[in-house]
Amino acid sequence: MLADFTAPAYGVDNLDIDFGFVEQFDLCGAAWEDVDGDGRREASEPRIAGVEVQLYVSGNTGDVPLATMVTPTNGSYCFNSLNDALVGGETYVLRINRNQAPLQDTVPAPTSPSIPPS
C-alpha cells in the first residue's frame, strides 16, 4: 500500500515520519607492541604491520564473520559504516589470532604473578 507524502518546508522538522534512519559509526584502532605491558598505547611503542584483524557479529546463533583486514605499515585498522541496528543482544567482536607471524617477535603480555607453594 502506498501513502501520499508531502515534504515539509525546508528546515521544518516532522517527527511523525520514520524513514528507518540507522546511525552509523566506524570501529578503528591499531596493532602495536605494548613494550611496557601496561595495556596503553604510547607514542614510543612501535605499531605492527601485517596483522589480520577480523570483525564478527556475536549473538545467539554464534559468531558470524563480517569483514577481515590486514594492518598497513602504521598498524591501523578501521571497519567503516557499521550500524547500531544489531538485534537480540548481538555485539560486534574483534578477533586477532596471536599466532600470526607479525606478532611472533613482540614482547609477550605480562602474566599474573604466581603464588609460590607454601
Query: How confident is the model at residue 2, as a pLDDT?
Result: 53
Judged by DSSP in three states, 32 sits in: strand
Kindly list the structural domains of the chain, giving each domain's residue range(s) and its CATH number in brackets, ordered by start.
24-96 (2.60.40.10)
CA distance 86 to 117: 48
Q: Which long-range contacts (CB under 8 A, 24 or more apart) does 34-41 make?
A: 34/106, 34/107, 34/109, 35/107, 37/107, 37/109, 37/110
pLDDT mean by block of 10 residues, the chain; 118 residues: 59 67 83 89 93 90 90 94 78 89 69 44
